[in-house]
């Protein structure tokens, strides 16, 4: 267990259809990135795989539905958790999934500095694989026009965490971010199938290779800089050399600085 990312707990109240699925497991609850829902790791059952359970109600339940349908679609193209069971009832959703083998990319970069270049190369290769999925076969839209509409509703409903903005926008209001976004339009079209939240915490590394990605609820057709910007920003914690390495290894010969900054600011509103 990573003590600063999860805490041991007992099993929550579960729907009757799921009670047999957790017998014999120990439980740990994630303390990061829950967005109003709950994420549990089921572990320690002899001869049984680790599992993850997501639970939420209302808008969180809708997001879990989004993730479930995308997991089932993406499984034909890239490694993602397998949906073991899904239940939606009375505006509550429960999603039980297999765990991917390995550690998050963030954990590997933090713990093993000597492996950082190799990890970034592996992440860039995996991102090319995601972006190579045929756009014509993707039933989900996540382009910047759609995301701007969602972002505007989040601003109007007071849902944007202005205390969590990047250092470059510390002290800004959500409306100031919005205005800066408007000033950067139009964005050069560059449609690919995107993960939508391609962060170091959502990519899993095992034995030096990417074993898959998680938290795919925003996957859909969009600009490739949606993914590049988020991963590039995450790598900033480990130095600009790795940021440059990502772009070079991915195959960016000339950075579209407007698209990069636009998608960095757009992500602030989510």
Q: What is the pLDDT of residue 88?
A: 95
Q: Do 83 and 153 share a domain, yes or no?
A: no
Q: Do 250 and 159 share a domain, yes or no?
A: yes
User: Is residue 227 among the annotated active site residues?
Assistant: no
* Domain final position from 83, 98, 113: 98
Q: What is the pLDDT of residue 1?
A: 41
Residue 264 in this model has a pLDDT that exceeds 70: yes
Kindly report the average pLDDT of the chain as a whole number.
Answer: 94
Q: What is the pLDDT of residues 149-180, one digit of tens each?
A: 999 999 999 999 999 999 999 999 999 999 99
Q: Do 111 and 206 share a domain, yes or no?
A: yes
Strand 83-89 and strand 51-57: the pairing is unpaired
| 6 — pLDDT class (breaks 50, 70, 90) | confident
What is the pTM (predicted TM-score) of this model?
0.92
Q: Do 20 and 60 share a domain, yes or no?
A: yes
Q: Is 40 among the domain residues?
A: yes
User: What is the Cα–Cα distance from 174 to 145, expressed in whole angstroms?
Assistant: 17
Number of compact structural domains in the chain: 2
Half-sphere exposure of 38 (CA within 13 A, CB side): 19
User: What is the Cα–Cα distance from 59 to 154, expressed in whole angstroms?
Assistant: 12
Q: Is 168 among the domain residues?
A: yes
Q: What is the pLDDT of residue 16?
A: 87
Peptide bond into 186 cis (omega under 30): yes
Q: Do 240 and 195 share a domain, yes or no?
A: yes
Q: What is the pLDDT of residue 90?
A: 86
The count of other CB atoms within 10 Å of the CB of residue 26 is: 15
Domain extent at residue 81: 6-98
Q: Is 1 among the domain residues?
A: no
Residue 3 in this model has a pLDDT that exceeds 80: no
Catalytic residue among 66, 197, 215, 227: 197
* Domain final position from 98, 131, 161: 98
What is the CA angle 101-104-110, rounded to 5? Answer: 135
Q: What is the pLDDT of residue 35?
A: 63
Q: Do 220 and 250 share a domain, yes or no?
A: yes
Q: Do 151 and 219 share a domain, yes or no?
A: yes
Residue 83 in this model has a pLDDT that exceeds 70: yes
| 33 — pLDDT class (breaks 50, 70, 90) | low
Mean pLDDT of 6-11: 89
Count helices and strands in the chain by DSSP H and E runs: 8, 11
Rg (CA), the chain: 19
Mean pLDDT of 222-239: 98
Q: Do 217 and 126 share a domain, yes or no?
A: yes
Q: Do 156 and 221 share a domain, yes or no?
A: yes
Mean pLDDT of 63-77: 97
Q: Do 156 and 258 share a domain, yes or no?
A: yes
Mean pLDDT of 223-230: 98
CATH of the domain at 13: 3.30.200.20
CATH of the domain at 215: 3.90.1200.10
* Domain final position from 66, 98, 130: 98
Q: Do 232 and 250 share a domain, yes or no?
A: yes
Contact between 193 and 135 under an 8 Å Cβ cutoff? The reply is yes
Q: Do 130 and 80 share a domain, yes or no?
A: no
């Amino acid at each position: 267990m990573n003590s600063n990312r999860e805490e041991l707990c007992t099993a929550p109240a579960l729907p009757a259809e799921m009670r047999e699925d957790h017998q014999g497991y120990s439980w740990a609850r994630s303390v990061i990135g829950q967005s109003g829902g709950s994420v549990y790791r089921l572990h320690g059952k002899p001869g049984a795989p680790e599992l993850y359970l997501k639970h939420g109600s209302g808008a969180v339940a809708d997001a879990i539905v989004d993730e479930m349908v995308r997991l089932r679609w993406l499984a034909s193209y890239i490694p993602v958790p397998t949906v073991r069971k899904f239940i939606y009832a009375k505006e509550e959703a429960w999603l039980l999934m297999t765990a991917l083998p390995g550690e998050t990319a963030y954990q590997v970069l933090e713990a093993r500095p000597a492996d950082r270049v190799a990890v970034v190369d592996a992440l860039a290769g995996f991102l090319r694989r995601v972006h190579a999925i045929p756009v014509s076969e993707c039933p989900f839209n996540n382009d910047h026009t759609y995301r701007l509409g969602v972002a505007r509703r989040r601003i109007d409903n007071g849902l944007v965490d202005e205390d969590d903005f990047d250092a470059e926008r510390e002290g800004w209001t959500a409306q100031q971010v919005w205005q800066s976004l408007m000033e950067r339009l139009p964005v050069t079209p560059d449609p690919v199938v995107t993960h939508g939240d391609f962060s170091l915490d959502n990519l899993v590394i095992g034995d030096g290779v990417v074993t898959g990605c998680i938290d795919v609820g925003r996957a859909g057709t969009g600009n490739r800089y949606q993914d590049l910007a988020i991963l590039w920003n995450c790598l900033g914690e480990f130095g600009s050399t790795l940021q440059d390495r990502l772009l070079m290894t991915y195959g960016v010969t000339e950075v579209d600085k407007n698209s990069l900054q636009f998608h960095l600011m757009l992500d602030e509103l989510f």
